[in-house]
């Protein structure tokens, strides 16, 4: 349970961190909150030669409005999701998801950028990037670029972030007064990984759902949008028939993998139950 | 390759403020904060349990917030303020929590207790009158294999009530 020996570099700018990474011959890991990385090092699932600490890079901090976007620095800690007034006002789905992320002491240290960059398919925040139509800002060799969440998650723990690149910020379209959110998850115990979880963002008009984005986690190798269920609900008033139709459509959206703990059929069933509950809540809010 | 590993094993000097005292020590980069506190500084009140962030026995305060001592490396804490169960005990900040844990048998073997107290201390600094559900939720990352948790929740709820009563007494005129 001890990490393999490594050397340590405390970076003070994104360029400094990226240069240290390049010098290592790409045998390095960036550490932000470290709440997933340190156990992986202790278990020797990972054994980099150099650990590059990005916690002291000032430009990765802070939450601010940037035109129609809310810009959330990659080092924003999970506990700040619960207390930051800008997040409460302009990204309430992240506020709603935050209490479900691990335990309080983990939330004091874990970061949004780290969670999104790791892309654990059982994590809350990566899936919420899909529901929010967020964009991920990445610093690479050719400067900064922004990748839509829909194009960011590629496969199990694989994202659009290339070797040596750093997630610098998350950009979320600012929440508007005609929008509604819902979030919930099913877990055996609070703070455990969810058996299945879901968050959604709807844009409403006159009691109708104009558009909706529904994202699931703990359902496969990547956080997954339920596009067929979205199509059933979009442009409609959510009633009991519509909810049943959306639940039936989940067959086409989700294909949970075989697992010893939760058989695929059970996970799909739980996803339907959760979708039904959340759409019922959404119908009251619309 | 071996020379690289030798480099990595080289000790690094770190300085931090532990329980109000400035200390410096030599650590290998891979030494976790909990190992540094226990081995180099001989502050053994912080317990190393699962060493992967699941059990909560190693909680310490880093710049005033509860964090797992096993989920960060000591070198990362360079320049930080760390408060351990020893410091919180000596300052009297958690004396009421400790007394209530004792009174209600909220500990048996005591292995989890330092982490429980640090977590409870942070909870009560954020919420003055937490519900039992909120207390249980806050403790979800702290394992106790002896008590069944009921007495721990009782103790924290009782201290919350007592502190709220004291605050309203002090706040009321006359």
Per residue in A180-205, pLDDT (tens digit) is: 999 999 999 877 899 999 999 999 99
What residue spans in chain B does CATH classification 1.10.150.120 cover?
94-169
Give counts: helices (H), strands (E), chain B: 7, 5
* Token pair in block for residue A247: 């639940």
Residue intervals of chain A classified under CATH 3.30.465.10 are 62-173
Residues of chain A with CATH 3.30.43.10: 7-53
CATH number for the region B2-89 comes to: 3.10.20.30
Residue B174 pLDDT more than 90? no
Partner-chain contact A38 B32, CB within 8 Å: yes
Q: How many CB atoms lie within 10 A of CB A9?
A: 20
Q: Is B28 on the interface with A (CB under 8 A)?
A: yes
CATH 3.10.20.30 maps onto chain B at 2-89
- The CATH 3.30.390.50 portion of chain A extends over 179-285
List the single range of A89-93, A138-142, B5-9, B51-55 with lowest mean pLDDT. Answer: B5-9
Please, which pLDDT band fits residue B8 given cuts at 50, 70 and 90? low
The architecture (CATH level 2) of A7-53 comes to 2-Layer Sandwich (3.30)
Of the candidates B5, B52, B75, which has its C-beta nearest A5's C-beta?
B5
CA distance B121 to chain A (A): 12
For chain B positions 114-153, those within 8 Å of chain A (CB to CB) are 119, 122-123, 136-138, 140-142
Q: What is the ipTM of this complex?
A: 0.94
Nearest to A105 among B7, B30, B119 (CB): B119
* pLDDT at B1 (0 to 100): 42
Please list the pLDDT of chain A residue by residue as tens digits (286 residues): 799 999 999 999 999 999 999 999 989 999 999 999 999 999 999 999 999 999 999 999 999 999 999 999 999 999 999 999 999 999 999 999 999 999 999 999 999 999 999 999 999 999 999 999 999 999 998 999 999 999 999 999 999 999 999 999 999 999 999 999 999 999 998 778 999 999 999 999 988 999 999 999 999 999 999 999 999 999 999 999 999 999 999 999 999 999 888 999 999 999 999 999 999 999 988 7
Third-level CATH fold of A62-173: 3.30.465
- Most A CBs within 10 A among B72, B79, B85, hence the mutation to make, goes to B72
- The closest alpha carbon to A24, from A60, A64, A52, belongs to A52
Topology (CATH level 3) of domain A179-285: Enolase-like; domain 1 (3.30.390)
* Residue among A84, A64, A272 at smallest CA distance from A170: A64
Structure tokens at A218: 């703990």
Contact A106 B10 (CB under 8 A): no
**A204-to-A184, A243, A278 alpha-carbon distances in Å:** 20, 16, 15
Contact B73 A38 (CB under 8 A): yes
Closest of B115, B161, B104 to residue B138, by C-alpha: B115
Q: Do B137 and A190 touch (CB under 8 A)?
A: yes
Q: Is A1 on the interface with B (CB under 8 A)?
A: yes
- In the predicted model, is pLDDT for residue B10 greater than 90? no
Ramachandran assignment for B162, one of left (phi > 0), alpha (psi -120 to 50 degrees), beta (any other): alpha
pLDDT of residue B3: 46
- Of the candidates A49, A53, A102, the beta carbon closest to that of B4 is on A49
Q: What DSSP designation does A191 have?
A: T
B70 vs A38: CB contact, 8 Å cut-off? yes
Question: Residue B2: its pLDDT value, please?
Answer: 43
How far is Cα B59 from Cα A139, in angstroms, rounded to an integer? 34
Q: How far apart are alpha carbons A182 and A165 in whole angstroms?
A: 33
Cα A172–Cα A120–Cα A35 angle in degrees, nearest 5: 95
Domain B94-169 CATH superfamily:
[2Fe-2S]-binding domain (1.10.150.120)
User: Region B19-44: what's the mean pLDDT?
Assistant: 97
CA angle A218–A118–A11, rounded 5-degree value:
160
């Amino acid at each position: 349970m001890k990490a393999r020996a490594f050397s340590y570099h405390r970076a003070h700018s994104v360029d400094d961190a990226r240069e240290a990474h390049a010098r290592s011959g790409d045998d390095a890991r960036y550490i932000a909150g470290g709440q997933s990385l340190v156990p992986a090092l202790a278990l020797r699932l990972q054994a980099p030669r150099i650990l590059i600490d990005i916690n002291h890079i000032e430009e990765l901090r802070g939450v601010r409005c940037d035109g129609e976007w809310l810009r959330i620095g990659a080092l924003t800690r999970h506990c700040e999701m619960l207390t930051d007034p800008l997040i409460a006002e302009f990204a309430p789905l992240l506020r709603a998801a935050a209490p479900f992320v691990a335990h309080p002491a983990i939330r004091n240290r874990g970061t949004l950028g780290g969670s999104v960059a790791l892309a654990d398919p059982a994590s809350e925040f990566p899936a919420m990037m899909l529901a929010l139509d967020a964009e991920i800002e990445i610093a690479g060799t050719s400067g900064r670029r922004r990748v839509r969440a829909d194009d960011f998650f590629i496969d199990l723990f694989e994202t659009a972030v290339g070797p040596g690149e750093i997630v610098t910020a998350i950009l979320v379209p600012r929440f508007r007064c005609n929008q509604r959110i819902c979030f919930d998850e099913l877990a055996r115990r609070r703070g455990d990984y969810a058996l299945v979880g879901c968050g959604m963002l709807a844009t409403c008009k006159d009691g109708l759902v104009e558009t909706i984005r529904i994202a699931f986690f703990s359902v496969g190798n990547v956080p997954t949008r339920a596009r067929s269920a979205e199509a059933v609900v979009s442009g409609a008033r959510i009633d009991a028939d519509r909810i049943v139709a959306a639940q039936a459509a989940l067959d086409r959206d989700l294909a949970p993998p075989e697992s010893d703990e939760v058989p695929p059929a059970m996970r799909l069933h739980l996803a339907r139950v959760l979708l039904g509950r959340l759409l019922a809540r959404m119908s009251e809010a619309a | 390759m071996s020379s690289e590993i030798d480099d990595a094993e080289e000790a690094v000097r770190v300085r931090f403020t532990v329980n109000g005292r400035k200390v410096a020590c030599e650590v290998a980069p891979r030494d976790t904060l909990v190992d540094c506190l226990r081995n180099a500084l001989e502050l053994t009140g912080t317990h190393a349990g699962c060493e992967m962030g699941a059990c909560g026995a190693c909680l310490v305060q880093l710049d005033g917030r509860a964090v797992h001592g096993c989920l960060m490396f000591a070198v990362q804490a360079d320049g930080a303020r760390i408060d351990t169960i020893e410091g919180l005990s000596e300052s009297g900040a958690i004396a009421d929590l400790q007394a209530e844990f004792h009174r209600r048998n909220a500990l048996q073997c005591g292995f989890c207790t330092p982490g429980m107290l640090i977590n409870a201390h942070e909870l009560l600094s954020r919420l003055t009158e937490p519900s039992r559900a909120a207390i249980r939720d806050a403790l979800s990352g702290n394992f106790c294999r002896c008590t069944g948790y009921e007495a721990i929740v009782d103790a924290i709820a009782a201290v919350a009530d007592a502190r709220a009563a004291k605050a309203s007494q002090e706040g009321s005129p006359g």
